[in-house]
Structure 1
Amino acid sequence: MNNAPNPINTQNQFSEFERFRTLARVTHDAGWDWELTTDRLWWTEGLKVQFGYDPDEWQSGSALWLERIHPDDRQRVSDSLALTMTGEKPNWASEYRFLKADGTYAYVHDRGHAVVQDGQVVRMVGAMQDVTSQVMILARQQQADQLKFVIDSALTAMALYAIVRDPITHEVVDLRYELINHMAERMTGRTADVLIGKTMRTAFPGIEQTGIWHRYKQLAQTGEAMRYHNHYVADGYDLWYEVQGVRNGDWIVLSFLDITELKNTQLKLETLNQDLIRTNENLQQFAYVASHDLQEPLRKIQSFGDLLKNSGLPTEGPATDYLTRMQDAARRMSVLIKDLLTYSRLTTQRDTFQPVSLDAVWQDTLTTLEMLIAETNAVVETDPLPVVQGDRVQLTQLLQNLVANALKFRQPGRPPHVQIRVQQLAAAALPESVHPVKAAAQYYRLDVTDNGIGFAQKDAGLIFNVFQRLHTRSQYEGTGIGLAIVDKVVRSHGGAITATSEPGSGTTFSVFLPADT
């Protein structure tokens, strides 16, 4: 030790320090001797060996040492040292981060012994040891333990394999188990002790017959990551799982997520879906045949009714009244059957959709409703309409039914006025009450507004139901299916529709369609 002092004249105490100093040199610890009365601090050569500081330049006092303690540790070290300096604890020890001469921090274990004279601590002798390597080893061990805990807690089975190659050709011939997690043990029904050290083809001989082995072999040879679903029926197993695999050097990690339950549910749903498709096809065929068979007798009823009228029946009287009522009922039945057939046929799939110009659809609508518009002296106007993905026939039914509805429920003595306004909205700007069937980034909003009789807003949720009528047939003709057709067309196109109204103040139907042309 450089310039070693003898602040205490007691030979026994000095010998004690000499023994400590010798031990510090042997262990390369940074030994220190601190004289509290003068605040002078002497160090052994270990200060330079371990931390890079010259002991001759470090005798000015404790402040130099304290400044190099990490700021986050400094107060804690000072507080623990104060207990020893007051004589409360004769021995002191602490672990903290200490700044080395090269600017890096070392983890140190520091300890010292207090020398008491006349009831006061006048001197402390100690040694500081660099324990960075031990701390890092413990930290790595802790990280390894934490990582193992995470891996073993995973719901995915994971296994680490070593690639086994032919010693002559170097071709991949097998994979050897090196590590598996708890879920892998549960999925295979075999413990780590049984699998580790064995090769995959030995542990699961049926793997070659399933064709899976060739996927793993390709991964080992090419290093191209893989991901796929597999149905493993061999070696007593019947499992569906999702496999992911990566290679790093001569190591491979495979993960297996058990999706057996999910796959079985999916297969059941696919079977049910096929059954539903067949049922719908049968229903469509039935609806077509039934409508044809029902329309034929209705046509005969109407035809024979016309013949009866022209056969010399009195123009007035009970018989003529009955005949007129019978023909009106037959006509309404014919219209009802046609509307029901239209509703039942609205099952177009999205894969048949194509870009449809709503401007062209609007022109078709005007042509169809030309006479009704003229008879009611209606004014109809619209913004330029967009192009949407859909079925042109269905979209024509959509606009035609909405406009016809506005013309039908007009106010007496007041010409109908129908307006169609268009705007494009981001999904985030949709009204809170609107929930389209299909998620999209943008939507077209078409507001069809009229000046008709309107209805109470509390009935807005009812008007799209089949056969729902808010007025009697004697007031307004119709089958009660028109708006149900509108709602079904909108939903089949991934959209949504709302109605806003007030008695005597007209109605606005707001149609929201995905803008994904």
Structure 2
Amino acid sequence: MTDQSMPFPFRSGSLAEQERLRYAIQAAQVGTWNLDVNGQQVWWDQRCQELYGSAGGPVVSYQHWRQLVSQEDQERVDKAIKLALDPSSTGTFDVQFRVRSRQDGSWRWLHAQGRAYVDILGAAYRLSGLVRDITAQVQTRQQLEISKARFRSLVLHSPTATVFFVGEEIVIDTVNAPMLQIWGKDESVVGQPVHQVMPQLAGQPFVDLLRRVYDTGEPYHHQQARGQLVIDGHWQESWFNFSCNPVYAPDGTILGLINTATDVTGQVVAIRESEQRYKLLAEQLEQRVAERTKELADAIDDLKRSNDNLQQFAYVASHDLQEPLRKIQQFGDLLTSQYAESLGPASTYLERMQAAASRMSRLIRDLLNYSRISTSQPVAMAVDLGSLLTQLLSDLDLVISESGAVITVDPLPVVMGDAIQLSQLFQNLLTNALKFSRTNRAGELTTPQIRISAQFITHAQLPLTIQPTRPAVTYHRIDISDNGVGFEEKYLDRIFQVFQRLHSQNEFVGTGIGLAICQKVALNHGGAITANSQPGQGATFRVYLPA
């Protein structure tokens, strides 16, 4: 061997070229070495000595050099040297091992590479090469393996279908049982690219989405993503809540992808079935609405014809029926005035005829009033109930005077309504209070005591039996109380019906329509009417009107 004093492994080329190469090696922080196979000595440069942590000088024995290598790695280094010196091998030397740092005593990783030089007989006499510090790379690789192990553990123990992909080819690194169940695969898919495991995904965007996340680092999420997989040899359509996130290595590069999938096929199918049912129900409802609309239109037409007939009846009743009654009453009056004495006992029949005609006239009049109220809408305007009652009492002054009635009227509110209809309501109630007077033990009529009062109440204070036709927040309650004959409350619903009477004509004259008119007026105004009474203890009628 020539010029072994210089530990430079590459002697070919000019001195200038060797010098440039030396500077390049020094700049790369790489150490150079030569192993004399026969002399068992090692020549190395200053950088190589620093990397090994040796203070033995530029030339050391092979055993000294070997002892600097970690005991755990010495056997591996020996095998690498033996292989490089074997004439049947390529003569290359490549091995990684640990040495102790002279500064802090920590272990550092070195990567030695070189080649063997042989004589004319083919026997190796020298091994020359380079060595560099790869501690940072090894530590990064170790951290990477720790990260991979952590992710593998997370994937395997996740209750959600999860897979960990690595590399640009989107290779399956780790996959848990729920994801394998979705795929219809087993653990043999680990280590294979996903497009090879499931070639049916070629025409679907799944793989492209994974590659885009790997290339850009941008996460991807999709709710109810549709996918088609071949399960047990059959195409199966499914829907998933899909999520893909990049996983970064310690150096900031993308290590792989975490992909999770939640099978929501059942929910999607249920929603679609619900939508179909809803669509069918909507069509049925639309058809039913059309039928009901037609029925309602027909009913409105019938009601219109009925109202027309009722108006015609009202016209007939007010003219054609009333006119004969007026003739009967007029001729009866003539007979009574001119021939009463000559008629003798027959005059009794004439009086009864006159009374019947009078009742018939009142009945027709009341029916006309009820008909008009039933077919006409109230004219909404502000009505002062106090002024209205004052006018009614003035109209009833003769009856009040004859009965000696004592009527007390408290302050009454102003309401929105039809003055004519409200006048009919309170006139009928006052007339009844004056008419249904009771007698005392001596058979004498008691003096009527009537009180009219008002109270402001809320909707929550309405009795449960009261159902106004127009809901409101507040109401006016007007009470008309008397000390008359009263009635049993079991007949409460009956007294507001047309032609329903609790007393005979001999006891109290009437047509049985007045209270029905009162109820109709109250309903027309969005309110209601009821009563409280006991036989012989008078009655109180309560009218509820929206405030």
1:438 aligns with 2:465: no
Q: Which residue of 2 aligns with 1:170?
A: none
1:356 aligns with 2:374: no
Which of 436, 456, 467 is the matching residue for 2:488?
456
Residues 94 and 110 in structure 1, CA contact (< 8 A), matched pair in contact too: no
% same residue = 43
Residues 24 and 30 in structure 1, CA contact (< 8 A), matched pair in contact too: no
1:299-448 pair list within 5 angstroms: 299-314=326-341, 317-347=344-374, 349-350=376-377, 352-412=379-439, 413-448=445-480
Residues 451 and 506 in structure 1, CA contact (< 8 A), matched pair in contact too: yes
1:150-189 pair list within 5 angstroms: 151-155=271-275
Q: Which residue of 1 aligns with 2:507?
A: 475
CA shift for structure 1 position 279: 1.7
Residues 419 and 449 in structure 1, CA contact (< 8 A), matched pair in contact too: yes
1:60-99 pair list within 5 angstroms: 94-95=157-158
Distance 1:260 1:23 in 2: 72
Residues 378 and 417 in structure 2, CA contact (< 8 A), matched pair in contact too: no
| Residue identity opposite 1:374 in structure 2 | S
Q: Which residue of 2 aligns with 1:161?
A: none
Deviations 1:12-40 (A, max 9, x none): xxxxxxxxx99986666354xxxxxxxxx
Q: How many residues get paired? A: 321
Q: Which residue of 2 aligns with 1:29?
A: 147
Question: Given the superposition, is the C-alpha separation of residues 388 and 265 from structure 1 closer, same or farther in structure 2, using an over 3 Å criterion?
Answer: same
Question: Given the superposition, is the C-alpha separation of residues 407 and 144 from structure 1 closer, same or farther in structure 2, using an over 3 Å criterion?
Answer: same
Secondary structure at 2:498's aligned position in 1?
Answer: coil
Secondary structure at 2:475's aligned position in 1?
Answer: strand
Residues 496 and 512 in structure 1, CA contact (< 8 A), matched pair in contact too: yes
CA shift for structure 1 position 144: 6.4
Deviations 1:386-416 (A, max 9, x none): 2223211111000000011000011233211
Distance 2:462 2:524 in 1: 19
Q: Which residue of 2 aligns with 1:275?
A: 302
Q: Which residue of 2 aligns with 1:489?
A: 521
Secondary structure at 1:513's aligned position in 2?
Answer: strand
Distance 2:518 2:362 in 1: 17
CA shift for structure 1 position 312: 3.8
Question: Given the superposition, is the C-alpha separation of residues 315 and 153 from structure 1 closer, same or farther in structure 2, using an over 3 Å criterion?
Answer: farther
Distance 2:273 2:454 in 1: 54
| Residue identity opposite 1:29 in structure 2 | S
Question: Given the superposition, is the C-alpha separation of residues 143 and 334 from structure 1 closer, same or farther in structure 2, using an over 3 Å criterion?
Answer: farther
Higher mean C-alpha deviation, range 449-458 or range 285-294:
285-294
Distance 1:422 1:394 in 2: 19
Question: Given the superposition, is the C-alpha separation of residues 324 and 260 from structure 1 closer, same or farther in structure 2, using an over 3 Å criterion?
Answer: same
Deviations 1:41-93 (A, max 9, x none): xxxxx69xx99xxxxxxxxxxxxxxxxx9xxxxxxxxxxxxxxxxxxxxxx96
Question: Given the superposition, is the C-alpha separation of residues 291 and 316 from structure 1 closer, same or farther in structure 2, using an over 3 Å criterion?
Answer: same
Two-structure CA RMSD over aligned residues (Å): 4.1
Residues 339 and 482 in structure 1, CA contact (< 8 A), matched pair in contact too: yes
Residues 408 and 476 in structure 1, CA contact (< 8 A), matched pair in contact too: yes
What runs of 5+ residues in structure 1 fail to find an aligned partner?
1-20, 32-45, 52-68, 70-91, 98-108, 112-132, 156-180, 188-239, 242-256
CA shift for structure 1 position 368: 1.9
Distance 2:285 2:486 in 1: 57
| Residue identity opposite 2:455 in structure 1 | Q
CA shift for structure 1 position 316: 7.8
Residues 493 and 513 in structure 1, CA contact (< 8 A), matched pair in contact too: yes
1:114-153 pair list within 5 angstroms: 139-140=241-242, 142=262, 145=265, 148-149=268-269, 151-153=271-273
Residues 419 and 450 in structure 1, CA contact (< 8 A), matched pair in contact too: yes
Q: Which residue of 2 aligns with 1:168?
A: none
Residues 348 and 391 in structure 1, CA contact (< 8 A), matched pair in contact too: no
Q: TM-score, normalised by structure 2?
A: 0.51
Residues 348 and 492 in structure 1, CA contact (< 8 A), matched pair in contact too: no
CA shift for structure 1 position 154: 4.3
Question: Given the superposition, is the C-alpha separation of residues 378 and 150 from structure 1 closer, same or farther in structure 2, using an over 3 Å criterion?
Answer: farther
Distance 1:362 1:143 in 2: 76
CA shift for structure 1 position 370: 1.4
CA shift for structure 1 position 291: 3.1
Q: Quick check: which has more Rg, 1 or 2?
A: 2
| Residue identity opposite 2:338 in structure 1 | S
Secondary structure at 1:347's aligned position in 2?
Answer: helix
Question: Given the superposition, is the C-alpha separation of residues 136 and 343 from structure 1 closer, same or farther in structure 2, using an over 3 Å criterion?
Answer: closer
Q: Which residue of 2 aligns with 1:213?
A: none
What runs of 5+ residues in structure 2 fail to find an aligned partner?
1-138, 161-173, 177-218, 224-239, 243-260, 440-444
Deviations 1:95-135 (A, max 9, x none): 379xxxxxxxxxxx999xxxxxxxxxxxxxxxxxxxxx899
Q: Which residue of 2 aligns with 1:40?
A: none
| Residue identity opposite 1:372 in structure 2 | V
Question: Given the superposition, is the C-alpha separation of residues 258 and 23 from structure 1 closer, same or farther in structure 2, using an over 3 Å criterion?
Answer: farther
